[in-house]
Amino acid sequence: MSKNFNSKIKSSEITDKQLYLNRRKFMKKFGSLIGWMFLGSHIKGVAEAAALKIVKKYDYTSNDKPTNIQNVTHYNNFYEFSTEKEDVADLSKDFTTNNWNISVEGLVNKPKVYGMEDLLKLFPLEERIYRHRCVEGWSMVVPWIGFPLSNLLKLSLPQGSAKFVEFTTVYRPDQMPGQKRSVLNWPYVEGLRIDEAMHPLAILSVGMYGDVLPNQDGAPIRLIVPWKYGFKSIKSIVRIKLVENMPISTWMQAASNEYGFYANVNPQVDHPRWSQKKERRLGEFFKRDTLMFNGYTDLVGHLYTNMDLRKNF
């Protein structure tokens, strides 16, 4: 991984060439997703805004080759739609994201409800290529488009008693068939310690591969925390709440012996039902070694100094 402050990477340089040339075709395929952003009197999709208004610098970028977009959009952990990864893309196609709002509340001095257009006007977008490691043993590399979560939190003026950040997914069982089942306690809830949430690697993503987020990948806005297992990166967020006590996340409720609060990628701590020492990138046959903190140790290791990372898994 390299830290590149001034590189000007074009979408065509990080995406498979044929995919880049077919970007308009991709946008048409996901056309139902791009109607929720309005700039002035012009109807303009998030895909266009993301592609044309990515900013200045790429502070944190992996040198790894991005995973093929077909794999990333058709192998998805999104239990709100289905527990079957290959079914999520189809089952989410009618999910609507127009007029989406996010409430920032709790222990903040400036609580506010933001529309997506508000966020995109307030915060310049960056494109960051991040590694991801899912607890089941598969991984991927994705060029996400978004902005640091810390930007939004700072704007909300956290109070001194705020120690954690709690995130909540939309509850919409009429469009999310998985929420009609009791496989998890809905709506989905996740949490970070406030210093983790303020770390510049943690971002809120509104797009990927130069375009808007597809429904199956967490449209219209999701959390990305690349040094943690994938279940931490909550999708389709509607509420961000600053709190004093550690949130009990959805997977902690479901299986506290398997899914801890921290969820840091640690190959030395096995999941109770399988090893975490190896991973397989989507689209690849051979497995590779899993890296501590998913390869981001030099940037985030200090957050866990003197912590027992076996106990705090």
**87/211: higher pLDDT:** 87
Cα separation, 178 vs 80, whole angstroms: 4
What is the pLDDT averaged over residues 34-44?
31
Q: What is residue 58's predicted lDDT score, i.e. its pLDDT?
A: 64
Give, as one character, the DSSP assignment of residue 181.
S
> Cβ(200)–Cβ(147) under 8 Å?
no
Residue range 218-234, pLDDT digits in tens: 999 999 999 999 999 99
Residue 139's Cβ-count burial label (10 Å; 0-12, 13-18, 19+) is buried
Residue range 300-309, pLDDT digits in tens: 999 999 999 9
Residue 60: band (very low, low, confident or very high) from pLDDT cuts 50, 70, 90: confident
Handedness of CA 55, 59, 61, 63 (dihedral sign): positive
Which residues is 42 bridged to in the sheet? 39
Cα separation, 95 vs 215, whole angstroms: 7
Q: What is residue 6's predicted lDDT score, i.e. its pLDDT?
A: 33
pLDDT at 45 over 70: no
What is the pLDDT averaged over residues 55-76?
85
Q: What is residue 242's predicted lDDT score, i.e. its pLDDT?
A: 98
Q: How far is CA 305 from CA 41, 150, 196, 223, 302, in A?
A: 51, 21, 13, 24, 5
Q: Note the pTM of the prediction, 2 decimals.
A: 0.83
Residue range 117-147, pLDDT digits in tens: 999 989 989 999 999 999 999 999 999 999 9
Question: Torsion-angle region of residue 306: left (phi > 0), alpha (psi -120 to 50) or beta?
Answer: left
Residue 268: band (very low, low, confident or very high) from pLDDT cuts 50, 70, 90: very high
Cα separation, 254 vs 236, whole angstroms: 20
Place of tokens 């089952």: 91
Q: Percentage of residues in the chain with pLDDT exceeding 90?
A: 76
Q: What is residue 41's predicted lDDT score, i.e. its pLDDT?
A: 25
Nearest in space to 173 (alpha carbons), one of 89, 250, 80, 254:
80
Residue 8: band (very low, low, confident or very high) from pLDDT cuts 50, 70, 90: very low
- The CATH class given to the 11-304 domain equals alpha beta
Q: What is residue 54's predicted lDDT score, i.e. its pLDDT?
A: 63
Token pair recorded at residue 85: 């990864």
Nearest in space to 84 (alpha carbons), one of 75, 92, 93, 71:
75
What is the pLDDT averaged over residues 199-206?
96
Query: What is the signed CA dihedral for 257, 263, 266, 267, rounded to 10 degrees?
Result: 60
